[in-house]
């Protein structure tokens, strides 16, 4: 289990130079996380690969957990930008499910990195690693957008919250080698059918 630092938010970049530095850190972490198990990824090596001082790395990311949760958040934000708009006439459960299958294939393409990010996120305390809360918010936003749901009800929000727990859990089971990608995708579709059944009769019309 990765070590979690004391409760402290990482510094936010305030200039283009600082943002570019943060991107280099995340890029280095992604490369090293794809090559090594999480326990073998050393913060000093991330700093060296990113071309920054170790103190700079810890200023932005107080622990390895902060770093890999931030990396998961950046990957979800990228997925949000790249996913196409749901096709017209497709019911929300189907549109959401299709998007989750695409996202699953993308994230498990680098299994060591996926495991590092998801394990870090699953062990992160919201009070210590605020990005873990943002991960949940972004994921739920992706799901609602893919379902074409602009004004979610409490039932919608509950269903999407539960679906997020199921999705992250299913990917971890896949990464642990207990099921195949085909079985995982089948389970994702079953989860969508069960949790989003109340959305089934609400297909968005043409734009």
Summarised one tens digit per residue, pLDDT across range 66-94 is 999 999 999 999 999 999 888 888 999 99
Residue 3 has pLDDT above 50, yes or no: no
Tell me the mean pLDDT in the region 177-200.
96
What are the helix (H) ranges across the chain? Answer: 16-35, 43-50, 54-60, 64-82, 92-107, 111-123, 131-146, 154-175, 181-195
Instruction: Give the side-chain half-sphere CA count within 13 A for 6.
Output: 1
Cα torsion through 70, 129, 151, 107, rounded to 10: 30
Name which of 12-21, 52-61, 80-89, 120-129 the model is least confident about.
Answer: 12-21
Question: Which residues, 6+ apart, have CB-to-CB distance to 48 below 8 Å?
Answer: none
pTM of the shown model: 0.88
| Rounded Cα gap, residues 166 and 6, in angstroms | 29
Q: Are 194 and 85 in contact (CB under 8 A)?
A: no
**Mean per-residue pLDDT, 50-54:** 96
Over its C-alpha atoms, the chain yields an Rg (Å, rounded) of 18
CA 68 to chain centre: 10
What's the pLDDT at 99?
Answer: 97
Q: What is the pLDDT of residues 125-163, one digit of tens each?
A: 999 999 999 999 999 999 999 999 999 999 999 999 999
Q: SS in 3 state form for 23-71?
A: HHHHHHHHHHHHHCCHHHCCHHHHHHHHCCCHHHHHHHCCCHHHHHHHH
Classify 201 as helix, strand or coil.
Answer: coil
Using CA atoms, how far apart are residues 135 and 194, in angstroms rounded to an integer? 23
Average pLDDT over residues 172-177: 97
The answer to whether residue 5 scores a pLDDT higher than 80 is: no
Question: What does the block give as tokens for 121?
Answer: 């996120």
pLDDT value of position 1: 45
Q: What angle do CA 8, 71, 62 make, to 5 degrees?
A: 20
Mean pLDDT for the chain? 91
Instruction: Give the model's pLDDT for residue 207.
Output: 41
Q: Which residues contact 202 (CB under 8 A, 6 or more apart)?
A: 91, 92
pLDDT of residue 12: 73
DSSP letter, residue 10? P
Nearest Cα residue to 2 out of 134, 118, 170: 118
């Amino acid at each position: 289990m990765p070590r979690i630092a004391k409760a402290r938010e990482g510094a936010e970049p305030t200039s283009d130079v600082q943002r570019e530095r943060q991107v280099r850190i995340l890029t280095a972490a992604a490369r090293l996380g794809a090559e090594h198990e999480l326990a073998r990824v050393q913060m000093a090596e991330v700093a060296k690969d990113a071309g920054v001082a170790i103190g700079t790395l810890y200023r932005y990311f107080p622990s390895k957990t902060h770093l890999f949760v931030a990396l998961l958040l950046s990957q979800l934000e990228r997925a949000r930008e790249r996913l196409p708009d749901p096709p017209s006439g497709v019911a929300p459960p189907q549109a959401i499910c299709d998007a989750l299958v695409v996202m699953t294939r993308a994230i498990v393409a680098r299994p060591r990195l996926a495991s590092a990010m998801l394990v870090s996120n699953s062990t992160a305390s919201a009070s210590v690693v605020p990005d873990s809360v943002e991960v949940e918010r972004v994921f739920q936003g992706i799901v609602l957008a893919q379902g074409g749901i602009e004004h979610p009800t409490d039932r919608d929000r509950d269903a999407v919250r539960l679906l997020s727990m199921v999705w992250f859990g299913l990917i971890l089971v896949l990464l642990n080698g207990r099921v195949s990608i085909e079985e995982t995708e089948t389970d994702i579709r079953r989860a969508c059918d069960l949790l989003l059944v109340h959305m089934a009769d609400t297909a968005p019309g043409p734009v």
